[in-house]
Amino acid sequence: MSSNLVVGYVGAIATVTINRPHVMNAIDVNTLKELEKLVEQLTDDDNVRVVVLTGAGHKAFVAGADISELQSLSPDQAEEQSRFGQSVYLALEQMGKPIVASINGYALGAGCELAMSCTLRIASENAYIGLPEITLGALPGYGGTQRLARLVGRGRALEMMLTGRAIAAEEALRVGLVSQVVSADDLRTTSLAIAEQLSKQAPVAMNLILTAVAEGLDMTMLDGCSRESELFAKAAQTNDWNEGIGAFLEKRPPIFTGS
């Protein structure tokens, strides 16, 4: 694979590591391009049911965007880069497969935005998460202003972005930005254990759940429930539906095939 991304496989789990430890895994344009291609590959790979995303080393998940690339951008180039980063993160978010962000240190700026694009976020106890772009005279450009407010609420999101304050893992847990905090030594094991649990669930139903939540957030409650019914009907057409219900009635573990 490339020098910026290291990809491995553990059964039906793909592990992806941002591999730029010399700059605390800062995201540059080349890394975004590599991530874009990888997302396409993993989306189409039926052997992959779950993805675990982390950063190389012990200091940072992703410490932010590569600031050296931002210095010389014209306004038009800045907009183009923002839209590109947004498209890559949106493709990640819309893979249709759960992605576990294993946050092993600083997740700032583009790193926080990357983590928020994942389905679940598990943090090491030494993690710090935030959007400090205001301290550079900038603002989040890869979807951060939108995702943070949806995850933690408008008031808390504005406080974090307007002050540039990064919050520690335990506070991130309290406000709902991460779902679990574990020791640094246990982070990889815990992340893989969660991924393993997810990999045994029905893939089609999982995709439909992700779709229902993503689309429903932009709908009224009534429209969201209507969309849920449509997706519920799609699930009823699958072999996994019959397998899951049959296994329950027969008191045995189900074996889901994704069909």
Q: Is the pLDDT of residue 257 over 80?
A: yes
Token readout for 247 is 């296994």
The model's pTM = 0.94
Pairing state between β 13-18 and 5-10: antiparallel
- Residue numbers annotated as active site: 113, 133
CA nearest to 140, candidates 218, 211, 85: 85
CA nearest to 59, candidates 112, 23, 14: 23
- 123: DSSP letter: E
CA nearest to 69, candidates 51, 90, 84: 84
The per-residue pLDDT of the chain, averaged, comes to 96
R_g (Cα) of the chain, nearest Å: 19
Q: Is the pLDDT of residue 239 over 80?
A: yes
Q: How far lies 198's CA from each of 31, 145, 213, in Å?
A: 27, 29, 17
Q: Is the pLDDT of residue 72 over 90?
A: no
